[in-house]
Amino acid sequence: MPGMLLHIDGSKHQWLNDDRRHDLIVVLDDATSEIYYAQRVEEESTRTVMAALREVIETRGLFCSLYSDRGSHFFVTMKAGDKVDKHRLTQVGRALKELGVQMIAAYSPQARGRSERRFGTWQGRLPQELRLAEITTMEGANQFLRDQYITRFNAQFKVAAEEKGTAFRRTSRTDLDWIFTIQTERVVEKDNTVAIADRSWQSGKTRFRSTLAGTTVTIHEHLSGEVWIRFGPHVVGRFNAKGEAVTGKQERRGKGGRVETGENQKQVSSAFHTPLGIAHKTRDSHFPTAPTTVGVLRSKKRAARAA
């Protein structure tokens, strides 16, 4: 059944018929051998793998499980050749866990052999197709893959699934921009900065704290190159791919992961609050009111005697 198990793998090769060697990342369905994604990248990495998986989820839907090799961007292994540590997640592992997708590591030589044979077909066909189309750039090759090659490949090699139906499910998640990020926790320095290696960012001002120094924030490095700094649900810093601060209203993550502007992200003066023109309504009580009634009657009797 489509969507039950997807394979992801990469192959380094001279795809453009010259000395340049790039990785081709492919995502396909185990049940039908249909290609869902194929793009050439400088190198298979956490970011390029995340970009592939996000595109499949956006175009096809959420799937049940992902089968991959034991590369360091998929799994953590204490020693080469050992079993993967299921309790220590990579960035890709964390993202897929948030989405409920199971990750399966390849151990059998047969599985690796199947992948190698498949890429052998690609290595024999794709460079010739690119040569005939007179394509010599990575951008042109990727456009060719999207517009022509994947469709033709699927028409020739896609097979019918043994089970009818589909296991793909359209996702209602609106926070894929957050899930598919490189996330790193850092403690804010006294000067309200946070750093990763040689890069440093200044967190913005907030109305709910005079300073964020000493607090733990999460740095989100987006696939677009933007960097957002988040304190709890609040975005307290936003920077473009060049590291320049992006000004404007700060935001927060709302219910369901939506990024939305919150009242506590802007300066609000209580002097501008207009009272609601709604009369107060007495709340119904779940408790007996008899004692209160008795007290009122006694007060009326005492008043009558005094008169």
- Give the tokens for residue 288: 């007996």
What are the beta bridge partners of residue 220?
183, 228
What backbone torsions phi and psi does residue 69 show, to the nearest 5 degrees?
-75, -175
Containing 154, the helix (H) or strand (E) segment is helix 150-157
Report, in angstroms and rounded to the nearest whole number, the Rg of the chain calculated over CA atoms: 29
From the number of C-beta atoms within 10 Å of its C-beta (0-12, 13-18, 19+), residue 1 rates as middle
- For residue range 243-267, list pLDDT tens digits in order: 899 876 555 554 445 444 333 333 2
Asked if 23 and 71 touch (Cβ cutoff 8 Å), the reply is no
What is the spatial distance between Cα 108 and Cα 11, in angstroms, rounded to a whole number?
A: 18
Ranges assigned E (strand) in 17-57? 22-29, 35-41
What domains does the chain contain, in order, with CATH numbers? Answer: 5-157 (3.30.420.10), 176-268 (no CATH)
CB 111: neighbour CB atoms within 10 A? 16
What are the beta bridge partners of residue 6?
29, 66
Residue 71, C-beta contacts closer than 8 angstroms, at least 6 positions apart: 44
pLDDT in tens, the chain (307 residues): 999 999 999 999 999 999 999 999 999 999 999 999 999 999 999 999 999 999 999 999 999 999 999 999 999 988 777 889 988 999 999 999 999 999 999 887 666 666 777 788 889 999 999 999 999 999 999 999 999 999 999 999 999 999 999 999 998 889 999 999 999 999 999 999 999 988 999 987 788 888 899 999 999 999 999 999 999 999 999 999 988 998 765 555 544 454 443 333 332 222 223 232 233 333 333 333 344 444 444 545 555 555 5
Asked if 180 and 50 touch (Cβ cutoff 8 Å), the reply is yes
